[in-house]
């Protein structure tokens, strides 16, 4: 089945979406077996072209071009699965529902015999995505410097791009900004921010946490690697009247110097990379004043799945967050304990709230489709972004992903 009319894909911008990858006959045969074996036992309704039907019933997954779909998955696994969606080779009326079923069964989609050989067939993260100081800046700018106007189209007025904490579920769009403020306030409470607190924020976003901390009387040093975020955050700080209490800098966390009574970081550890987790926690330890606390908000995954997939190159890393790596809650605790004097003293998950947050963002993004196009983002980008939001929501709905607010306290060797 050809792509829908009007779905012209820019080959220069999206070369791996336009081109179906070459794939050996043996690999195609193996891929076809794995895909059919996996889909046929899942609670899905799967149509493969005009004839074949798979699945045990559930959300509808329509594969319009089975040959291209199977070649992509056989050649590039889940990267190919996402690219096949971007290429309109498959569709789902309930995209989140389909992806949730797949997320619930991630650990068993590939037979155990092939799982053990994962290092041989799974694509690996490119060396250029390593989070060295220069690599980290390029990785962050790839996503966060897309356009402030783009993010403003689907985020609430606080411009918070992380999980909200609602006072009830389900929640609606009018509840979102209050939920974001509730999340920030709990973070500030976790690290004891009040009048006169010297607060370091690692990962500025667009300034929401810094502004609320300054309103409590804190003196805030906020660092980011996104020039667009820095500039708008500074504007928002000035508009809120807190420019004397908040300093926003373009700076890698490894370059920060000084001592702080509290450190807060919201969903930034996902961009650190497992290779640099020890460096990240040693940096926190060296910057924290005696008696201080760290508050982290982190997207997490189960420890066993983190270990199984940590060296795999994913669709999200290729198209959305280059260099990203989700930790487990265990990995955070173990890394801090092994490399610092910091200890986890509180840890609370609220994954269902992230699923709700993502649902609201996805609905809003769909409503703003024309406006996104007016900013210069083509139809393939918009389809990619919808897939990213749905993919993420499904991760939280299935329990494959969670989000935690974590408090760390203690004295390290550098204090």
Per DSSP, which regions of 90-211 are E strands? 90-91, 198-202
Burial 134-168 (b: 16+ CB within 10 A, else e): ebbbebbbbbbebebebbebbbbebbbbbbbbbee
Looking at residue 33, what is its pLDDT? 84
Secondary structure percentages of the chain, helix, strand, coil, to 5 = 50, 15, 35
Which residue in the block uniquely carries the two structure tokens 């959305």?
320
Q: What is the rounded CA–CA span in Å between residue 244 and residue 210?
A: 12
**For 393, which DSSP code?**
H
Query: Distances in Å between the alpha carbon of 110 and those of 32, 122, 138?
Result: 12, 11, 33
pLDDT of residue 41: 92
Report the alpha-carbon distance of residue 370 to residue 392 in Å, rounded: 23
Superfamily of structural domain 129-409: Vaccinia Virus protein VP39 (3.40.50.150)
Distance in angstroms (rounded) separating the CA atoms of residues 262 and 305: 32
pLDDT, mean of each 10-residue run, the chain (415 residues) = 62 96 85 86 91 93 94 91 97 98 85 54 66 86 92 98 98 98 98 98 98 98 97 98 98 97 98 95 98 98 90 92 95 97 97 98 98 97 98 97 97 46
Report the distance separating Cα 16 and Cα 12, nearest Å.
9
The domain segmentation of the chain, as residue ranges, is 15-123, 129-409
Please give the sequence-ordered ranges of beta strands (E in DSSP) within 301-359, or none if there are none.
Answer: 343-349
pLDDT attached to residue 23: 84
Bridge-partner residues for 300, per DSSP?
402
């Amino acid at each position: 089945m050809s792509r829908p009319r009007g779905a012209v894909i820019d080959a220069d911008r999206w070369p791996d979406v336009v081109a179906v990858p070459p794939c050996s006959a043996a690999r195609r045969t193996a891929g076809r077996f794995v895909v059919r074996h996996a889909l046929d036992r899942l609670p899905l309704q799967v149509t493969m072209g005009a004839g074949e039907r798979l699945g045990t019933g559930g959300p509808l997954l329509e594969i319009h071009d089975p040959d291209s779909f199977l070649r992509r998955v056989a050649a590039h696994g889940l990267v190919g699965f996402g690219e096949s969606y971007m290429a309109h080779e498959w569709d789902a009326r309930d995209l989140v529902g389909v992806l949730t079923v797949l997320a619930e069964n991630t650990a068993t989609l590939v037979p155990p015999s092939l799982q053990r050989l994962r290092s041989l067939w799974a694509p690996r993260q490119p060396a250029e995505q390593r989070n060295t100081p220069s690599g980290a800046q390029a990785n962050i700018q790839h996503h966060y410097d897309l356009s402030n106007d783009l993010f403003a189209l689907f985020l609430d007025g606080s411009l918070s791009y992380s999980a909200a904490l609602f006072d009830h579920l389900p929640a609606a769009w009018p509840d979102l900004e209050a939920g974001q403020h509730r999340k920030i306030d709990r973070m500030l409470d976790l690290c004891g921010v009040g009048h006169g607190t010297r607060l370091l924020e690692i990962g500025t976003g667009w300034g929401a946490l810094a502004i609320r901390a300054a309103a409590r009387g804190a003196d805030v040093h906020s660092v980011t690697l996104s020039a667009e975020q820095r500039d708008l955050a500074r504007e928002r700080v000035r508009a809120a009247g807190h420019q004397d209490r908040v300093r926003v800098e373009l700076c890698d966390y490894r370059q920060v110097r000084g001592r702080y009574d509290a450190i807060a970081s919201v969903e930034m550890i996902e961009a650190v990379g497992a290779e640099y987790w020890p460096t990240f926690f040693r940096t926190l330890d060296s910057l924290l004043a005696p008696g201080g606390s760290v508050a982290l908000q982190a997207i997490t995954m189960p420890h066993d799945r983190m270990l199984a997939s940590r060296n795999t190159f994913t669709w999200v890393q290729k198209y959305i967050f280059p260099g990203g790596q989700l930790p487990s809650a265990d990995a955070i605790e173990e890394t801090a304990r092994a490399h610092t004097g910091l200890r986890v003293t509180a840890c609370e998950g609220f994954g269902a709230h992230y699923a709700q947050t993502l649902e609201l963002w996805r609905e809003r993004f769909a409503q703003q489709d024309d406006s996104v196009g007016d900013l210069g983002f083509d139809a393939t980008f918009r389809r990619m972004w919808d897939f990213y939001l749905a993919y993420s929501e499904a991760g939280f709905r299935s329990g494959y992903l969670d989000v935690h607010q974590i408090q760390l306290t203690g004295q390290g060797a550098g204090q």
